[in-house]
Amino acid sequence: MNARPEKLVVVGAGSWGTTFAKVLADSAIERGVVEPEIVLWARRPEVAEDITARKRNTDYLPDIDLPACLSATTDLAEAVAGAGLVVLAIPAQEVRGHLPAIRAHLDPAAVVVSLVKGLERGTDARMSELCAEELGLPDERFAVVSGPNLALEIARQEPTATVVASADPATAEWIAVRTSGPYFRPYTNTDVTGVEICGVVKNVIALAVGICDGLGYGDNSKASVITRGLAETARLVESLGGQAETLAGLAGLGDLVATCASPLSRNRTAGRHLGQGLSVEEATARLKQTAEGMKSVSAVVDLARRHGVEMPISEAMNAVIAGALDVDTLAGLLLARDLKPEGRS
């Protein structure tokens, strides 16, 4: 493996991007790195100034003190230049637009890591596919981090386990070392496809669970949606060549449970707003950040149809977001499949 610069960069200063930068900084400090260089790229100058000067991200993590070694800039070229690790923490629909500028300044040995849990609309592309296409990035220089990653809990340093997936085990291990710390425990695997798809579809299922919550349904209904949602996720993962084992792990069941159960989940919250009668536009306006499930559900359904995979919950969510289905008529559709033995068929 080529030597990589130790500068670490996170592109995106929302709650999860800022939290992940904190994880990188805390890990470097724990490992005794002298003067670690951890840089955040922020879209807005006031956010960059807040992080650099006051070590706070008031908009997204108002009560969290950030490490002294964290800085931020609005200059993407400045952020990426000389970095050994470039982490993507921006909405899925914005990734392609940022990749040309990243490519122009990307170190030849740098690894790109995706925290993005969405598909690109129009192409149905996963972030690994986008990075291969737009950055000319070989598999061994790409990884995805996923799992139960509720940003605020991690920023508070509550114990969390996660998954680092890369086609190259050595790359996954290199990233794991730089994220491991007292409160953040990474596990590695090689199933990039499975980890990415689990991270995308769980947001769609969380929308459905949130709608159930908003409609006043109880835990039986929500548990049923979670379980059947996991089954349709498994069908899509396996059709794309992912591994069934991933569904039982942190990136599969772990992330699904956290996203569907926590009031901190943007997608569950968005679904609850829809269930309470808000329009898609009104629900979106209530959220400070992107609910990836609302943005990616059409791509999920398109991908599933192209591969002949039945995903009734995702289909129903797509119809709701498109305005073709009223949430009051949703209950029967969420579990509407022919009677058959339980399983993935």
**Active-site residue set:** 202
* Cα separation, 71 vs 38, whole angstroms: 7
* Short-list 314, 285, 290, CA closest to 116: 290
* Cα separation, 244 vs 128, whole angstroms: 19
CB 244 within 8 A of CB 193: no
* Cα separation, 180 vs 27, whole angstroms: 6
Query: Burial, 62: exposed, middle or buried (Cβ in 10 Å; 0-12, 13-18, 19+)?
Result: exposed
Cα–Cα distances in angstroms (integers) from residue 129 to residues 29, 63, 291, 322, in the given order: 33, 36, 21, 26
Q: For the chain, report the end-to-end CA distance as a whole number of angstroms.
A: 43
Q: Which residues pair with 190 in a beta bridge?
A: none
3-state class (DSSP) for residue 174? helix
* Cα separation, 142 vs 222, whole angstroms: 35
Helix residue ranges per DSSP H, 148-291: 151-155, 169-179, 192-214, 219-239, 244-247, 255-261, 266-275, 280-286
3-state class (DSSP) for residue 68? coil
Give the list of residues 6+ apart from residue 248 with CB closer than 8 angstroms, or none.
none
Q: What is the DSSP string of 113-171?
A: EE-----BTTTTB-HHHHHHHHH---GGGEEEEESS--HHHHHTT--EEEEEE-SSHHH
